Amino acid sequence: MNASLDIQPLSSWINTDGKPLVIAGPCSAETEEQVLETAAQIKEEGFAHVLRAGVWKPRTRPGSFEGMGEAALPWLQAAKKETGLPLAIEVANPQHVELALKYGVDILWIGARTTVNPFNVQELADALKGVDVPVLVKNPVNPDLQLWIGALERLNQAGVKKLGAIHRGFSNAQETKFRNSPMWQIAIELKTLFPQLPVIGDPSHMAGKRAYLFEVAQRALDLNYEGLIIESHRDPDKAWSDASQQLTPAALGEMLHELHVRRKEYGSEYQTQLEIIRSKLDNLDRELLETLAARMSLVEKIAEYKRDNNVAAYQVDRFREVLNTRQDWGKSLNLFPTLVDELFKLVHMESIRKQTEVMNQVSA
């Protein structure tokens, strides 16, 4: 089945004066004072097109702060009135949709934990029939492009044409420096399938720490994302949720000023399709090399363990296991068997070289 979405361009439902869309505000609406003060500072900085705040906060385990609920909506309503900025909040069920619209929320987004469940998404789609409101869909928690696409299609089939995607990164069994692994290639594939679909980067949830926000935000802009959604709090260290990934409005303004927005055109001519594809290849190759470097760092840990336990660097049974499993994985991804075989022979030989190098350096 050919992929298609009947959606309106971002410029038709919000004016950004040709700049990337910026949605900013606290992770959670905590108190009326906190909401109004943060909103006023964001407005003063002048970088945001939309205010955001969490009203209902789905948490992994009970006992964490789960948002103020409906009580926070009048605070956001007041912030909208004082700043003149439209509002965006997350909704997870039809009741949330009803309340958000009642209090004049302008943009809704569906969170990662909701996107993962088609039943929940369909309930939201049904609740949004006949409602002319923009909806942004975060990627599911796990790296499943089809779930992401399915959520977008359900909403579009319900008549939602002001539609966009938020790339917030994916859970990963391997430990990385990021809270959620970007896995840029998945968002790139989504954009390839639906070129007209606005994709918004979520550096806050990908990075998880202030130190990495700029890096992730710049990468999103390098990939021509249509905007960013970033968490900002008047006093981030005292935030009731996700304190480590939030910035003050002033610090966020400074960071956004330093970001470089790439031109989508060469002079007066648009990039050719070939140049667009090459740009995607470049980003994927960088991702591939970053993954390979992470693999080699694990190989060094293996070498240290083998050294300490007087184990040889080369294990023939393990080598056979690697080749067999990777060939099976490659088949499931429609990769040419010879490519996978030769690639992992090279990777394994480099792993052996790295291990013997580490072991010899230590013993020297």
pLDDT value of residue 270? 52
**Beta strand 227-231 pairing with 21-25:** parallel
Residues 244 and 298 in one domain: no
Beta bridge partners of 24: 51, 230
Residues 110 and 38 in one domain: yes
Question: Which residue range forms the structural domain that includes residue 182?
Answer: 10-262
Beta bridge partners of 88: 52, 107
Give one word for 305, left, alpha or beta, with left for phi > 0 and alpha for psi -120 to 50.
alpha
The amino acid sitting at 99 is: L
Distance, CA of 220 to CA of 214 (rounded, Å): 10
3-class SS at 270? Answer: strand
Residues 94 and 237 in one domain: yes
Which pTM value belongs to this model?
0.76
In the listed set 262, 288, 307, which residue is the last one of a domain according to the structure?
A: 262
Residues 328 and 304 in one domain: yes
> Considering the domain boundaries, does residue 88 fall inside one?
yes
Structurally, the chain folds into a number of domains equal to 2
> Considering the domain boundaries, does residue 4 fall inside one?
no
Distance, CA of 352 to CA of 14 (rounded, Å): 55
- CATH code, 304: 1.20.59.10
Q: How many CB atoms lie within 10 A of CB 149?
A: 19
Which DSSP category does 150 fall into?
Answer: H
Q: Give the pLDDT of the chain (364 residues) as one tens digit per residue.
A: 456 899 999 999 999 999 999 999 999 999 999 999 999 999 999 999 999 999 997 766 676 777 799 999 999 999 999 999 999 999 999 999 999 999 999 999 999 999 999 999 999 999 999 999 999 999 999 999 999 999 999 999 999 999 999 999 998 776 678 999 999 989 999 999 999 999 999 999 999 999 999 999 999 999 999 999 999 999 999 999 989 999 999 999 999 999 998 766 554 455 567 777 887 888 888 888 888 888 888 888 888 888 888 887 777 788 788 888 888 888 888 888 888 888 888 888 888 888 888 888 755 4
Residues 287 and 212 in one domain: no
Residues 250 and 277 in one domain: no
Q: Exposed, middle or buried, 39 (CB in 10 Å: 0-12/13-18/19+)?
A: buried
Best CA proximity match to 25, nearest among 69, 74, 90 = 90
